[in-house]
Amino acid sequence: MERTLRSMTLDEKIGQMIMPGWDVGAFRNVDSDEFAKVRRNIVDFHVGGLHVYGGDPTPVALAINEMQKLAKVPLLISDNFEGGVGYVLFGATRLPLAMAIGATGDEHLAYEAAKLTAEEGRAIGVNVNFYPVADVQNNPANPIINIRSFGEDPATVSRFVRAYIRGAQENGQIATAKHFPGHGDVATDSHLEMPVLNVAPQRLESVELPPFRAAVEEGVQAFMSAHIWLPQIEPEKGLPSTLSKNVLTGILRDELGYRGVVFTDAMTMRGVSANFTNEDATLRAVEAGADIILIPPSVEDSFRAIKSAVESGRISEKRIDDSVRRILRTKAHFDLEKSRFADVNRLMTLLGTREHRDFAQQIEDQAITLVRDERHALPLRASPDLRVVQINVLDSRNGWREGAVGRLAAAELPKRFPRAVTVQVDDQSTATELDLIRKLAQTGDALVVNGFIRVAAYKGSIDLTNAEVALVRDLAAMKKPFVFTVFGSPYVLTHIPDLPSYIVTYDTSPLAEASMIKAITGEIEFKGKLPISLPGLYPVGHGLTAK
């Protein structure tokens, strides 16, 4: 590693500290403009890695191999496999999100989920997973962390973070603890603007930092910073943690003793880009202690900014060497020189196997949580005579990661209730359409209402519309069995506290829909416990069983 460092030019060292995004789905062949752009980043700017987006596994693996061939030093290839490789790439295994795993209470499932993800990810050529989320989710209004966190209790989150890191790194994939120093207690999405976490150092030490400290103790190989401002830690107004030496060096390096690689979060996010130029943000991140500038708006501008800063003396070459040494050490630790290429021949026998899919469903089946059943409506026993009206209520019509939600539930319910019908409403439904739903509900013997609340970047909110809330209340007021299940953000009950029924799945995937159908019909037991509190209603650990 030291020999490699000594042999590198200044340009090559600077390049190791830059990691652009790459839309692999746009890659077609070596003559394409997209290939030429990525090739230039590797050959001319010597980038140390690529963050990949989208596509199908086999073309992605082939494209990654082509890029690895161009690199003098093995590339870090990263992705956000928060819900398994299938969360990003079609055909691989889609796993439940962190809060569902937290609801099981079994950290061994976190270990196994990480192991499975590492095996599938490395087969494709992805050696860095930007996961686990080590944020403590303690703000019900948080629109971006939410179900991506293992829960609200710092000790519990720490346990699951440790297990996930072990599962990933023991199976050859670099784990990343994010978003340091903690993104859980904010009500703003840093993709849209910079959140502010105005807490005292003592509070940070007791709530936000324990999972990150646990990650350091577990030997995590990477951290990712958060684009949030901590006024009581960083006196410069509006300076996000990504650019704060007090945070990245003072807390992470000096206080927590972390010696590994630090990634910035994506520098295109408005938590940074709205207030800082690309060049200024790049230099301030390096000065703060970041090692890798992730997805800068311009690779060339970031590269030239760092080089000019070294040549002018603003940043020492020793500072560059410190980062590159950490990067090379991590690459060597995972033997990327020998394992940089994807084994395409393994994909058909490894990705999305029945064993992997069954494991994913097992997690969701153990996670689904019965919070309330005041009318004792559960279970709804399968019957050829019962007319069940199922109503899917979506907080937004568009933007669903896995296509139209509610399809599996619509297909599965009639297998138990042949007279069942399913309808859908969303944020664009008219008052006339909502009234028609009310009339349809009156014809049913039982109502199954499913709220889908998407937690996603650049969305900014996690609520049903006022019209949808009014509809749900009207449906609940009808004198008949009523079952309400929330898919996604678990906090709907805090907005509609008078619901007689409440079930939480912690995800919006087909896995969650399958668990819901089985649980409400008594085919599986409700085993999950709330990993978060519903303020004023239910504490962490609450969960009922329907017999």
CA–CA dist 247, 270 (Å, integer): 19
CA–CA dist 194, 171 (Å, integer): 35
Task: Say whether pLDDT at 459 is over 50.
Answer: no
Question: Sign (positive/negative) of CA torsion 230, 235, 236, 238?
Answer: positive
What are the tens digits of pLDDT across the range 235-292?
A: 999 999 999 999 999 999 999 999 999 999 999 998 999 999 999 999 999 999 999 9
Residue 166 near residue 212 (C-beta atoms within 8 A): no
Task: Say whether pLDDT at 25 is over 80.
Answer: no
Query: Three-state DSSP class for 174?
Result: strand
Total-model pTM: 0.96
Spell out the residues 6+ positions from residue 162 whose beta carbon is closer than 8 angstroms to its own.
Answer: 107, 214, 215, 217, 218
Residue intervals of the chain classified under CATH 3.20.20.300 are: 24-350
CATH placement of domain 368-520: 3.40.50.1700
Residue 260 near residue 330 (C-beta atoms within 8 A): yes
The DSSP secondary structure of 364-393, one letter per residue, reads HHHH-EEEEETT--------SS--EEEEEE
What are the tens digits of pLDDT across the range 321-336?
A: 999 999 999 999 999 9
Architecture of domain 24-350: Alpha-Beta Barrel (3.20)
Task: Provide the pLDDT for residue 461.
Answer: 61
Backbone φ/ψ region at 125: left (φ over 0), alpha (ψ -120 to 50), beta: left
Task: Say whether pLDDT at 86 is over 50.
Answer: yes
Burial level of 390, CB count in 10 A (0-12/13-18/19+)? buried
- The residue assigned the tokens 């399809």 is 407
Question: What would the two tokens of residue 256 be?
Answer: 């927590």
Task: Provide the pLDDT for residue 32.
Answer: 82
Where in the sequence numbering do the catalytic residues fall?
191, 265
Mean pLDDT of 433-458: 91
What are the tens digits of pLDDT across the range 130-162?
A: 999 999 999 998 888 999 999 999 999 999 999
Q: Which residue has the higher pLDDT, 333 or 24?
A: 333
Residue 207 DSSP symbol: I
Question: How sure is the predictor about 398, in pLDDT bands with cuts at 50, 70 and 90?
Answer: confident
Question: What would the two tokens of residue 37 be?
Answer: 């752009």
What are the tens digits of pLDDT across the range 39-65?
A: 999 999 999 999 998 889 999 999 999
CA–CA dist 512, 523 (Å, integer): 14
Closest CA to 85 of 63, 48, 113: 113
Residue intervals of the chain classified under CATH 3.40.50.1700 are: 368-520
Which uninterrupted H or E stretch holds 235?
none
State the first-to-last Cα distance of the chain, in angstroms, to the nearest integer: 60
Q: What is the largest CA-CA distance in the chain?
A: 81
What are the tens digits of pLDDT across the range 362-371?
A: 999 999 999 9
Task: Provide the pLDDT for residue 401.
Answer: 64
E strands present in 330-462: 369-373, 388-394, 421-425, 446-453
Least confident window among 72-76, 269-273, 420-424: 269-273
Mean residue pLDDT across the chain: 95
Residue 98 near residue 148 (C-beta atoms within 8 A): yes
Residue 81 CA from chain centroid, whole number: 7
Buried b (16+ CB within 10 A) or exposed e, 156-180: bbbbbbbbbbbbbbebbbbbbbbbb
- The residue assigned the tokens 């299938």 is 86
